[in-house]
Structure formats: C-alpha cells, structure tokens
C-alpha cells in the first residue's frame, strides 16, 4: 500500500510499504521504422505478484502507425492483448483493485 501524506513529504517512513512493489518485473520493448513511413512498436511486460493480493500478470502492447504527411499520423493500437483484464493497483483497504482492460483503438495525431 502506498501512502502519501502530501506531495512535498520526503520522510523515509512514508511511502511504499512493500505491498505496491513486485519482487520481480521486467520489460522488453522494440521500435521499428518500416518502409513507406510505417512504424511498429511493441512491449512485453511481466509484473510479479504483489503482497496486496494482486496476482502476477504479463502484458503485451503493440502499435502499428503510418505517417500520412508531415502533419498527420494514423495508428492502430492494442493494449493488454493477452487477457481481457488484470488488476494493477490496490486501493487503500485492499478490496477494490484498479482493473486494466484489454483495448484496441485507432489513433489520429495531428501536428501543427
């Protein structure tokens, strides 16, 4: 459980009590620039079991994007593709965990 009394607090006794930090975790990321202004980015994350009762999970995210012109990028994005949902963050009392759902979406980025 993470407890923050205020944002400026630097007391070493306040903070992560060991329930919000996994003993094992790793991340592998890749970013490829492909021909014809395409780009493919992916990540694989593993987070070990948390003491707050949140089980270990593995997550895969990916993005395939294309630069249409100097102002417009279009991307297809998939997040948390291995499972429909998983818990990530405990609440203060360990009952209602933050659930992260699988999502797939199209993103348009306009730069001006």
Q: What is the pLDDT of residues 83-112, one digit of tens each?
A: 999 888 777 766 677 888 999 999 999 999
Residue 67 tokens read as 């630069």
**Separation between Cα atoms, residue 82 and residue 71, nearest integer Å:** 33
Q: What is the dihedral of CA 92, 93, 96, 99, to 10 degrees?
A: 40
Q: Is 105 exposed, middle or buried (0-12, 13-18, 19+ CB in 10 A)?
A: exposed
Q: What is the pLDDT of residues 22-47, one digit of tens each?
A: 889 999 999 999 999 999 999 999 99
Query: 59 vs 19, 45, 68, 79, 93, CA distance in Å?
Result: 20, 5, 29, 8, 25
Per-domain residue ranges for the chain? 25-110
Q: What is the pTM of this model?
A: 0.73
């Amino acid at each position: 459980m993470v407890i923050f009394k205020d944002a400026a607090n630097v007391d070493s006794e306040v903070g992560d009590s060991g329930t919000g930090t996994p003993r094992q975790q790793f991340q592998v990321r890749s970013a490829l620039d492909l021909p014809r202004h395409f780009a493919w980015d992916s990540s694989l994350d593993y987070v070990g079991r948390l003491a707050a009762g949140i089980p270990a999970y593995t997550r895969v995210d990916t993005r395939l994007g294309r630069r249409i012109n100097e102002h417009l990028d279009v991307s297809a994005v998939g997040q948390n593709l291995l499972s429909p949902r998983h818990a990530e963050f405990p609440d203060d009392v360990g009952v209602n965990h933050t659930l992260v759902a699988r999502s797939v979406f199209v993103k348009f980025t306009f730069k001006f």
